[in-house]
Structure 1
Amino acid sequence: MEIEKTRSTIEEHVRDLYHRLEITEPWQIDRFEISRKMNIDLHCSDKGSRAFRIGDWECVILHRGLSEQELHAEFFHELAHICSHTGVQHRMPKYLYDYQEWRAEAFMLHCLAPTFMLLKDGMPRSENEALYLLCERYNICEDHARKRYRMLVS
């Protein structure tokens, strides 16, 4: 399958972030190493996932009850908030909250399976083979693989 070669802003942001962190292969996409390199405290809690910044201190808290793949994805969703968003979500109008969540979801999907890596790897022609590759090589759940695949082919 031929992947579109024009890049969105999110794709460029993820590519630049990964290059700055010297991440070039799917096995290097690791929340512990990324948070260390970015100087972001990473913790788990029973109270749900969230991210916040106080001055120069940044923290991502992940819900302890999630599977490994869900933790992996949730980290990137919360990282999007650290990288791109400011303010307290519960104080903003719903349309801004919804927009931030939509962007965080898109950022997360691009971080899980970055376009620049997919271009290098190539994608199988069949959807089932592509989903298998995304799940196995990028260690993501089938739902996220399907969403990412649909982003690529639309």
Structure 2
Amino acid sequence: MVYTATALEDWISQRYIKSRIQSASDISIERIAMIHNIFINFREMPARYDIHGRYKAIVLDARCSPEEQREQFFHELCHILRHVGHQTMMPAAFRELQEWDARHFTMYATMPYFMLVDYDFENPYLIHDLAFDFDVTEQLCQKRIEHIQRNIMTNSFMVAERNHYFF
């Protein structure tokens, strides 16, 4: 069973390791916001980010659960760190690409693979345990586990195909 991290996962993991973020308890939105000089605000409105010169802020929806706010934070953080332009003024395809990137960034940043390797993926309570440990929704945990399983299955298939081809 081999898992191959994506370039985005590697990018996030390297930033975490450089910042000494090594366990689920280290993934604090306050700590990460401080590292990137980002202010966090809670308002009764949909989550968003603001950049004005050197000022950067993320607004989190105060009506949502802490787990949902955490996911909102990482989604908006992706836009700040990786994207340029205003989505309202860009072609739909480019906006969709940025949203796809932000969804994957959220998955990888909230539950980096290097922090998941010690979990028992056969544990029937895995989703619940991950949601608790990483302080995210069970829905996000389910997506992350499915992503990991697809990655491993694809790699296993590719190895089997390569072995069949060469022998």
Same fold, judged at TM 0.5 (above): yes
The alignment status of 1:83 with 2:84, answered yes or no, reads no
The alignment status of 1:122 with 2:119, answered yes or no, reads yes
Q: Secondary structure at the match of 1:39?
A: coil
Match of 2:62 in 1: 64
Deviation at 1:20?
2.4
Match of 2:138 in 1: 142
The alignment status of 1:12 with 2:5, answered yes or no, reads no
Amino acid at match of 1:35: A
Q: Is 1:124–1:130's contact at 8 Å kept on the other side of the alignment?
A: yes
Q: Secondary structure at the match of 1:87?
A: coil
Which of 30, 33, 39 does residue 32 from structure 1 map onto? 30
Q: Secondary structure at the match of 2:11?
A: helix
Following the alignment from structure 2 to structure 1, what is the Cα–Cα distance between the partners of residues 41 and 135? 21
Q: Is 1:130–1:149's contact at 8 Å kept on the other side of the alignment?
A: no
Identity of aligned residues (%): 26
Q: Secondary structure at the match of 1:103?
A: helix
Structure 1 segments (4+ residues) deviating >6 Å:
none
Deviations 1:89-136 (A, max 9, x none): 0111111111111110100011111011112x233225x332123112
Following the alignment from structure 1 to structure 2, what is the Cα–Cα distance between the partners of residues 95 and 15? 28
**Unaligned ranges ≥5, structure 2:** 151-167
Q: Secondary structure at the match of 1:66?
A: coil
Deviations 1:70-92 (A, max 9, x none): 01111000000011001000111
Q: Secondary structure at the match of 2:45?
A: coil
Q: Secondary structure at the match of 1:61?
A: strand
Q: Is 1:76–1:108's contact at 8 Å kept on the other side of the alignment?
A: yes
Q: TM-score normalised to the size of structure 2?
A: 0.84
Q: Is 1:77–1:105's contact at 8 Å kept on the other side of the alignment?
A: yes
Following the alignment from structure 1 to structure 2, what is the Cα–Cα distance between the partners of residues 43 and 140? 19
Q: TM-score normalised to the size of structure 1?
A: 0.90
Deviation at 1:33?
1.4
Q: Which has the larger radius of gyration?
A: 2
Amino acid at match of 1:125: E
How many pairs were matched up? 150
Which of 41, 44, 51 does residue 43 from structure 1 map onto? 41
